[in-house]
A and B are shown apart, each in its own frame.
Chain A
Amino acid sequence: GENVEQHPSTLSVQEGDSAVIKCTYSDSASNYFPWYKQELGKRPQLIIDIRSNVGEKKDQRIAVTLNKTAKHFSLHITETQPEDSAVYFCAPGSYIPTFGRGTSLIVHP
């Protein structure tokens, strides 16, 4: 099955800084690369996704970049705000997703 790793497991930044979370995967057949955000006590929700025929996608302060050759994709958050504090999960796959263990992002005001 797919082996998915996320780094770092915890990320602490000051408000206004940028944050980058990296996800590596093993299955070369994976063609869908989403990032989910889970606030404390809430359900995971999709914040951005990318497909294998695209290298980068942006949505306001968040972006996802994909390197299919190296089998990794990254979440970029610019101008971080306290409300960005949450756990972020990658979940790559082609048919059934495999979730990473999550990155806890803490944004200090």
Chain B
Amino acid sequence: NAGVTQTPKFRILKIGQSMTLQCTQDMNHNYMYWYRQDPGMGLKLIYYSVGAGITDKGEVPNGYNVSRSTTEDFPLRLELAAPSQTSVYFCASGKQPELNEQFFGPGTRLTVL
């Protein structure tokens, strides 16, 4: 199993540009998450999904959108990128509803200039 994979690894965006961060898991996990991690900080939840077709906002959803058309894929869309969105983005998945271990992807380092 590849686990959780993310693309791209690095990206530089100009202010106002848009992009999609890709996330795929092959563990048949029902729950998937998107976090952002700013330097020296913990992980803040952006969006999560409890299954295909169902998504919900986390702590910091503004400026982002998600979709979950399949169990495996959970892309994160940034519209009108802003410097405040410069961060490292982690996708994670887990087998729930009982809270369990989260499996993280390798992360995407995004810089908005």
Chain A contacts to B: CB under 8 angstroms: 1, 31-32, 34, 36, 42-46, 49, 89, 91, 93-102
The dominant DSSP class at the B interface is loop
B104 contacts A94, C-beta separation under 8 Å? no
B102 contacts A46, C-beta separation under 8 Å? yes
Known interface pairs A101-B41, A102-B41; A95-B99 also in contact (CB < 8 Å):
yes
For residue A68, give the distance in angstroms from its CB to the closest CB of chain B.
15
* Count of chain B residues near A, Cβ 8 A: 22
Q: Which residues 95-113 of B sit at the A interface, judged by CB distance below 8 A?
A: 96-102, 104-107
A97 contacts B102, C-beta separation under 8 Å? yes
The dominant DSSP class at the A interface is loop
Q: Which residues 80-106 of B sit at the A interface, judged by CB distance below 8 A?
A: 90, 96-102, 104-106
Asked if B48 is an interface residue, CB under 8 A from chain A, the answer is: yes
Known interface pairs A32-B100, A101-B42; A43-B107 also in contact (CB < 8 Å):
yes
A47 to B59, CA, bound (A): 25
Residues of A within 8 A of B104 (CB): 43-45
Residues of A within 8 A of B40 (CB): 102
